[in-house]
Structure 1
Amino acid sequence: MTDVVLDGVDKVYPGGQMAIRNVRLRIDHGELFVLLGPSGCGKSTILRMIAGLEEITAGELWLNGALANDLQPRDRNVAMVFQEGALYPHRTVKGNMMFPLEAARGDRTAATAKVVELARALGLSTMIDRLPQTLSGGQRQRAAIGRALIREPSLFLLDEPLSSLDAGMRTELRVEIAALVRASGTTTVYVTHDQVEAMTMADRMGVLRDGVLEDVGTPEQIYADPATVFVAAFLSNPPINLLQATLWAVEGEGMMLDLGSQRLALPWDDPRASWLITHHGKPVIVGIRPDMLAPIAPGSPAAPGTTLSGQVRALEFHGHEWLAYAEAGMPTVDANDIGATRPPDPPAHSEPAGLMARLRTRLHRPSFTDETPQEKHAGHHRRSDLLFRIASGDRPNHGDHVALTVDLERILLFAADGRRVTPVQR
């Protein structure tokens, strides 16, 4: 086993393309660490730098306490599995798994016994003498993982190994891979763009965007307490509601979130109030996951500042539940437009150029009661909808007006640059 430390690592390609920006990360002994992010964000580049397949432009890479920037790949004791497995087509499953042991010139009898044992653990015992072209995609990936693990590397790297498989096979293999690497105790770095893989497999995870590491923590920490609006949106299925608001400190009421046509209020005894007071009069982004909204029965009382309302525009049936879209007349935010391609750790209170002006413009858009073309919301995936969940069989009808109580203790508040207003707990 080994630990991995990236200290201020940059990667700049010829032509000035910056792929990785000042990444600082520690991966501990025996940890299954997942790098998550959209395509092109730099996940595989980090993996290849750890493996020694890409040179580091700036910063330091440490493996097990030793500086590794100039170490050759063969000297790092690292095993890597690529997206397609890359098996030798002329070798059987057994031959592929034997290859690293043959190259090491170890005892052949002991090597054969080791291959048979690992093939059994991977569910490949009945196909150990078959060639790769006779295997399914999932079987080939298991064989590739077996070939990597047979060496007993100190560090195991997996670059989107399940992305080319169908959904059912991905579900089965992610459970097997996680169990296998944990049983081996090998430090593992796993790259994926699939949030379900990341959430279900990781001991800890990091979320990348445009080469910047935006958040690091356990899956539970990052989901419940995301550091940026992008992280909150990326780790959200169904999508999080992101609403534009202006924050006002109102004597006798608390911190008022002015959403244009509607309002929410956080009382002064809310633990977040002391942090929010510094944003008085400023635009903020309010994140409300669909499970933070619950329909109120018609005629039921609701405390002022704790509910939102809208008219049901669309319904989706998901078997165990319905997802409902309610037109609420509040301006929404696209997380991809907020804080993109920014350098890490900007000075306090700084914001991307022109963003404050853009947010102020959006905050003064007319509400849905005005006769304004819907194109005003172009670029937002849900227009001014609120997305909420309802139990199967309990759904409203199209066109119904619904009142929704908001779980104010769990809502997320972000500044105009996309960073959390309140401290992130790690």
Structure 2
Amino acid sequence: MTDVVLDGVDKVYPGGQVAVRNVRLRINDGELFVLLGPSGCGKSTILRMIAGLEEITSGVLWLNGAVANELSPRDRNVAMVFQEGALYPHRTVKGNMMFPLEVLGDDRAEATAKVVELARALGINTMIDRLPRTLSGGQRQRAAIGRALIREPSLFLMDEPLSSLDAGLRTELRVEIAALVRSSGTTTVYVTHDQVEAMTMADRMAVLRDGVLEDVGTPEQIYQDPATVFTAAFLSSPPINLLQATLWGVEGEGLLLDLGPQRLSIPWDDPRASSMISHHGKHVIVGIRPDTLAPIAAGSPAAPGTVLSGQVRALEFHGHEWLAYAEVGIPTVDANEVGGIKKPDEPEPEQIGLVGRLRALLGRSAVVDEPAPEGHAGHHRRSDLVFRIASGNRPNRGDHVALCVDLERVLLFGADGRRVTPVQR
């Protein structure tokens, strides 16, 4: 068993490409820790540096209290599972799982017994004499996981092991993987871009963007109390509503969130008010998850400053619920355009709108009449508010709706994308 500490770790490739920037992270002994983020955010690079497959440019890696920067992969006692399993094609399932024990010189009878026992736990005991090419994708991944687990490593590393499988199999295997690694007590670092995998499997998790840590905590902490607007948006399905606003402190009324054509009001006795008032007169980003919005029946009373209204533009049926999109006339925000690290050689995007981009791609004039957006409003985003409705109880397209906002669950971010109110960890 082991714990992992990354202390100010950087990875810079030849040519100056920075993959990982000043990562400070502790992974506790026996923990199932997930590295989550979009493609190219540096999560697999961190995994490979822990394994010793990538050199660390600067900073220190500690494994179980000892500096490991110069240790060879063999001396780190780690086992790794890749996206495609990487089984030996000429060996059977049994042969693949036996291989690490053969290298260690274990007794063959004892090794065979361990293979059979683990194969049964993985549900592949009836196919241990088959070659990898005769197995399904899920069966191959089970065999690869078995080969990694059987040597009882001190650290288990998994690099998107389920990404090539279909949705049903991913659901089944993520439950099995989580149960297996927890029962073994082995410290596990799991890389994925899938927020559902991360939320359902992790003891704790880290969200990365452009090689930088955005947030670290339990899945519940990061979902309910995200540190940045990027984290709030990345861990959100259906997507969180991100709205532009200006924050005003109004004596006798409270904190006013001026959304342009509409307003919300947070009372002075709200525990967040003392932090929010520091942004008086500033532009902020208001985060409202779809499940914090509730349609109000016609004629029903609602407290002033708690309602947003609009016209239903689109509906999506999801079986157990409907998702509705209401045009509210409030400028929206694209989380990918807020905060983060700007590449030095990255040109400013032309604010020509979607029509202009299409015309440019088709070789026509990119000059269009639509105005350039202001602030962080995505020029490809409509001013829709997404909300959830229980199945069988929905408005129709074109209907006017009034939506009550649960103000206690509203998230507020500064223009730099960081939370305005303190984040509890």
TM-score range normalised by the length of the shorter chain = over 0.9
Please give the alpha-carbon distance, in whole angstroms, between the structure 2 residues aligned to 1:415 and 1:288.
15
Please give the alpha-carbon distance, in whole angstroms, between the structure 2 residues aligned to 1:236 and 1:107.
50
Counterpart secondary structure, 1:23? strand
- Is 1:396 equivalent to 2:401 in the alignment? no
- Report the alpha carbon displacement of residue 340 of structure 1 after superposing the two structures with TM: 2.2
What is the match of residue 120 of structure 2?
Answer: 120
Contact 2:247 2:258 in 1 (8 A): yes
Counterpart amino acid of residue 161 in structure 1: P
Q: Please list, as runs of the form range in 1=range in 2, the aligned pairs for 1:332-411 lying within 5 A after superposition.
A: 332-341=332-341, 379=378, 382-411=381-410
Counterpart amino acid of residue 109 in structure 2: T
Counterpart amino acid of residue 152 in structure 2: E
What is the match of residue 150 of structure 1?
Answer: 150
Please give the alpha-carbon distance, in whole angstroms, between the structure 1 residues aligned to 2:380 and 2:199.
24
- Report the alpha carbon displacement of residue 105 of structure 1 after superposing the two structures with TM: 0.9
- Report the alpha carbon displacement of residue 380 of structure 1 after superposing the two structures with TM: 5.2
Please give the alpha-carbon distance, in whole angstroms, between the structure 1 residues aligned to 2:93 and 2:254.
66
What per-residue deviation string (whole Å, max 9, x for no partner) do you get for residues 18-55 of structure 1? 00000000000000000000000001000000000000
What is the match of residue 209 of structure 1?
Answer: 209
- Is 1:193 equivalent to 2:196 in the alignment? no
| Unaligned runs of at least 5 residues, structure 1 | 344-353, 359-371
Counterpart secondary structure, 1:152? coil
What is the match of residue 223 of structure 1?
Answer: 223
What is the match of residue 304 of structure 1?
Answer: 304
- Report the alpha carbon displacement of residue 341 of structure 1 after superposing the two structures with TM: 1.4
What is the match of residue 64 of structure 1?
Answer: 64
- Report the alpha carbon displacement of residue 301 of structure 1 after superposing the two structures with TM: 1.3
Please give the alpha-carbon distance, in whole angstroms, between the structure 2 residues aligned to 1:12 and 1:278.
38
Please give the alpha-carbon distance, in whole angstroms, between the structure 2 residues aligned to 1:4 and 1:295.
47
Please give the alpha-carbon distance, in whole angstroms, between the structure 2 residues aligned to 1:112 and 1:408.
60
Please give the alpha-carbon distance, in whole angstroms, between the structure 2 residues aligned to 1:380 and 1:219.
31
Counterpart amino acid of residue 328 in structure 1: V
What is the match of residue 416 of structure 1?
Answer: 415
- Report the alpha carbon displacement of residue 342 of structure 1 after superposing the two structures with TM: 6.0
Please give the alpha-carbon distance, in whole angstroms, between the structure 1 residues aligned to 2:138 and 2:42.
26
- Report the alpha carbon displacement of residue 208 of structure 1 after superposing the two structures with TM: 0.3
CA separation of 1:160 and 1:381: change in aligned 2, threshold 3 A: farther
Counterpart amino acid of residue 319 in structure 1: G
CA separation of 1:398 and 1:306: change in aligned 2, threshold 3 A: same
Q: Please list, as runs of the form range in 1=range in 2, the aligned pairs for 1:253-264 lying within 5 A after superposition.
A: 253-264=253-264
Counterpart secondary structure, 2:313? strand
Contact 2:208 2:214 in 1 (8 A): yes
- Report the alpha carbon displacement of residue 69 of structure 1 after superposing the two structures with TM: 0.4
Please give the alpha-carbon distance, in whole angstroms, between the structure 1 residues aligned to 2:407 and 2:342.
30
What is the Cα-based RMSD across aligned positions, in Å?
1.6
What is the match of residue 108 of structure 2?
Answer: 108
- Report the alpha carbon displacement of residue 299 of structure 1 after superposing the two structures with TM: 1.1
Q: Please list, as runs of the form range in 1=range in 2, the aligned pairs for 1:37-48 lying within 5 A after superposition.
A: 37-48=37-48
What per-residue deviation string (whole Å, max 9, x for no partner) do you get for residues 284-339 of structure 1? 00000000000000111111100000000000011111100000000000000000
Question: 381-390 or 268-277, which moves further after superposition?
Answer: 381-390
- Report the alpha carbon displacement of residue 260 of structure 1 after superposing the two structures with TM: 0.3
What is the match of residue 12 of structure 2?
Answer: 12
What is the match of residue 271 of structure 1?
Answer: 271
Counterpart secondary structure, 1:255? strand
Please give the alpha-carbon distance, in whole angstroms, between the structure 1 residues aligned to 2:9 and 2:419.
24
Please give the alpha-carbon distance, in whole angstroms, between the structure 1 residues aligned to 2:295 and 2:113.
61
Counterpart amino acid of residue 148 in structure 1: A
- Report the alpha carbon displacement of residue 379 of structure 1 after superposing the two structures with TM: 3.9
- Is 1:24 equivalent to 2:21 in the alignment? no
Please give the alpha-carbon distance, in whole angstroms, between the structure 1 residues aligned to 2:370 and 2:330.
14
- Report the alpha carbon displacement of residue 280 of structure 1 after superposing the two structures with TM: 0.3
Contact 1:332 1:380 in 2 (8 A): no
Contact 1:312 1:325 in 2 (8 A): yes
Counterpart secondary structure, 1:312? strand
Contact 2:332 2:378 in 1 (8 A): no
Please give the alpha-carbon distance, in whole angstroms, between the structure 2 residues aligned to 1:342 and 1:36.
20
- Is 1:78 equivalent to 2:85 in the alignment? no
Runs of 4+ in 1 over 6 A off after TM superposition: none
Please give the alpha-carbon distance, in whole angstroms, between the structure 2 residues aligned to 1:86 and 1:237.
32
- Report the alpha carbon displacement of residue 381 of structure 1 after superposing the two structures with TM: 5.7
Contact 1:334 1:381 in 2 (8 A): no
Counterpart secondary structure, 1:40? coil
Aligned length: 400
In the superposition, the TM-score normalised over structure 2's length comes to: 0.92
- Is 1:313 equivalent to 2:308 in the alignment? no
- Report the alpha carbon displacement of residue 376 of structure 1 after superposing the two structures with TM: 5.4
Counterpart amino acid of residue 58 in structure 1: S
Counterpart secondary structure, 2:49? helix
What per-residue deviation string (whole Å, max 9, x for no partner) do you get for residues 56-98 of structure 1? 0010000000000000000000000000000000000000000
- Is 1:288 equivalent to 2:299 in the alignment? no
Contact 2:333 2:378 in 1 (8 A): no
Please give the alpha-carbon distance, in whole angstroms, between the structure 2 residues aligned to 1:380 and 1:273.
32
In the superposition, the TM-score normalised over structure 1's length comes to: 0.92
What is the match of residue 247 of structure 1?
Answer: 247
Contact 2:373 2:379 in 1 (8 A): no
Please give the alpha-carbon distance, in whole angstroms, between the structure 2 residues aligned to 1:172 and 1:96.
23
What per-residue deviation string (whole Å, max 9, x for no partner) do you get for residues 370-406 of structure 1? xx96985984564100000001111001111100000
Contact 1:241 1:386 in 2 (8 A): yes
Contact 2:174 2:201 in 1 (8 A): yes
Please give the alpha-carbon distance, in whole angstroms, between the structure 1 residues aligned to 2:197 and 2:124.
23
Counterpart secondary structure, 1:24? strand
